[in-house]
Amino acid sequence: MITLKPITKENWHAAIRLEVTPEQRNFVASNLYSIAESHFEPGVVPLGIYNEEDTMVGFLMYGPLHGEMWIWRLMVDQRYQQQGYGRAAMQAIIAALHAMGHTEIFLSHEPENTVGAQFYASLGFEDTGRIEYNELVRRLIL
């Protein structure tokens, strides 16, 4: 259903044109910021989420933080939300990180992002009680 592809000089423009809904803008950094951040944070990998027609529909970024493996970002463009792309992307990155030998994965979200909290919980991410950068931390044990 989806393919995850590295962000490169050929596709970064497509990535920065993707946008969440206005209501979601406070919940995720822009893809432009995330791509820039990935160039300064060792080991962080930005990926485009592509649909069956090879159209970039979203953005995902993962990498180490505090000695743990984190999913730093997940966003699906507002035009492609509610079509299963976010879930498919998360399942794909979870499987890839597990295949790399990781036994747990962390992510965080804004406390007000109740839709995100429900989504991550449905994937098995549990609340750790930790707060990082004013966000709630969740963990998935593989």
Model's pTM, two decimal places? Answer: 0.96
* Pair 111, 136: CB distance under 8 Å: yes
SS3 28: coil
1 falls in which pLDDT band (50, 70, 90)?
confident
pLDDT at 107 over 90: yes
Count CA atoms within 13 Å of residue 44 on its CB side.
Answer: 18
**Cα distance between residue 107 and residue 18, in whole Å:** 21
Domains, the chain, ordered by start: 3-141 (3.40.630.30)
Burial class (CB in 10 A: 0-12, 13-18, 19+), 22: exposed
pLDDT mean across residues, the chain: 97
Q: What is the pLDDT of residues 125-135, one digit of tens each?
A: 999 999 999 99
Residue 109 Cα distances to 25, 53, 55, 127, 132, angstroms:
12, 30, 26, 11, 9
